[in-house]
Amino acid sequence: GESVGLHLPTLSVQEGDNSIINCAYSNSASDYFIWYKQESGKGPQFIIDIRSNMDKRQGQRVTVLLNKTVKHLSLQIAATQPGDSAVYFCAENNQGGKLIFGQGTELSVKP
Amino acid sequence: EPEVTQTPSHQVTQMGQEVILRCVPISNHLYFYWYRQILGQKVEFLVSFYNNEISEKSEIFDDQFSVERPDGSNFTLKIRSTKLEDSAMYFCASSGQALPYNEQFFGPGTRLTVL
C-alpha cells in the first residue's frame, strides 16, 4: 500500500553543521514531494517541494534530493541554526488532492 | 502575508458530544482540506473539498464526520458523536489550485481532547 516513512526519528546536530533528513516512499506513482517543518504547537510549514521529473532542487539553505530508483527523498539544511529545530515531515502526492505524510524526524540543534 | 486561521485553538468535550471545528482558509483559495495528527504520530489526511462538495475522503472520515462551507469564508469540520480516539490535533489547509504541484497552506490547528 501507499506509505511514506522516515529512516530516523531524531537527529541532533551542532549549530553551523549541515543536516540531512531522509525519507523513503513506496508509491512509485507519486509525482510530487514536499518537505514540511512543524514547530511545537504549530501547523506544518512548507519548506520546499520537488516534482518527480527533477532530482534536485535548491532553496535558501535547503536542498531536496529525489532518487526515484530507490524511492528516496532527502532534505539537506546548510549551516543549521537553532531556529531550524523542529519536526520535519516529508509528504507525497500521487495525482490526487491528498498529501501522504511520513512519520517525522525531530531535528535538535545544539548551540 | 495571508494565512489559514482556525478556532478554537483547544476544544475539550465529553465523549458522545458533537463538536464543530472552524477554519478560515486563505481568501482566494478554492481547495480545502482537513488533516489530523494524533499526538506523536504523523499527519493523516481526512478529507478534501472543492466546489462545495467532497473531492476525496479517507477511511478515517466515516459517517460521524462532515464538512461544510456555510458561507464564503468559513470551512467547518463536524464530528457528530465524539469518541476517545478522536482526540488529536486537527489541521485545516487550503490551496489556490489542486495538487499536484501546488502548495497546501496549513492553519495552526485545533487540539481536540475527548474525555
| Kind and range of the H or E run holding A12 | strand A10-14
What pLDDT does A30 receive? 87
Percent with pLDDT over 70 in chain B: 96
- Closest approach of chain B CAs to the CA of A111, in angstroms? 25
pLDDT of residue B42: 87
Chain B residues whose beta carbon lies within 8 Å of the beta carbon of residue A91: 43
Q: Is the pLDDT of residue A26 over 80?
A: no
Q: Is the pLDDT of residue B21 over 70?
A: yes
DSSP class of residue B29? -
% of chain A with per-residue pLDDT over 70: 90
Q: Please give the grid coordinates belonging to residue B31.
A: 481547495
Which pLDDT value is given to residue A2?
Answer: 43
**Residue A75 contacts B, CB cutoff 8 Å:** no
Q: Is the pLDDT of residue A65 over 70?
A: yes
Does A40 contact chain B (CB < 8 Å)?
no
How many other C-beta atoms lie within 10 A of the C-beta of residue A4?
23
* Residue B78 CA to its chain's centroid (Å): 9
Q: Does B7 touch chain A (CB under 8 A)?
A: no
Burial B66-90 (b: 16+ CB within 10 A, else e): ebebeeeeebebebeebeeebbbbb
* DSSP letter string, A34-84: EEEEE-TTS--EEEEEEETT-SEEE-SSEEEEEETTTTEEEEEESS--GGG
* CB contacts, 8 Å: B42 with chain A: 89, 101-104
Q: How far, in Å, CA of B21 to CA of B47, rounded?
A: 14
Beta B10-13 vs B110-114: how paired, if at all?
parallel
B73 HSE (CA, 13 A, CB side): 6
Q: CA A90 to CA A75: how far, in whole Å? A: 9
Quick one: average pLDDT of A22-38?
90
Whether A41 contacts chain B with CB within 8 A? yes
A45 contacts B45? CB cut-off 8 A: no
**pLDDT by residue (tens digit) across A47-57?**
999 999 999 99
Report pLDDT for A42. Answer: 87
CA atoms within 13 A on the CB side of B78: 10
* Percent of residues, chain B, with pLDDT higher than 90: 78
Each residue of B44-92: pLDDT tens digit? Answer: 999 999 989 999 999 999 999 999 998 878 999 999 999 999 999 999 9
Among B1, B3, B21, smallest CA distance to B113 is for: B21
For A10-19, A40-49, B16-25, B96-105, which range has the lowest pLDDT when averaged over its residues?
A: B96-105
- Top residue of A2, A6, A99 to mutate, by most chain B CBs within 10 Å, is A99
Q: Is the peptide bond before B108 cis (omega within 30 degrees of 0)?
A: no
Instruction: Report CB contact under 8 Å: A44, B99.
Output: no
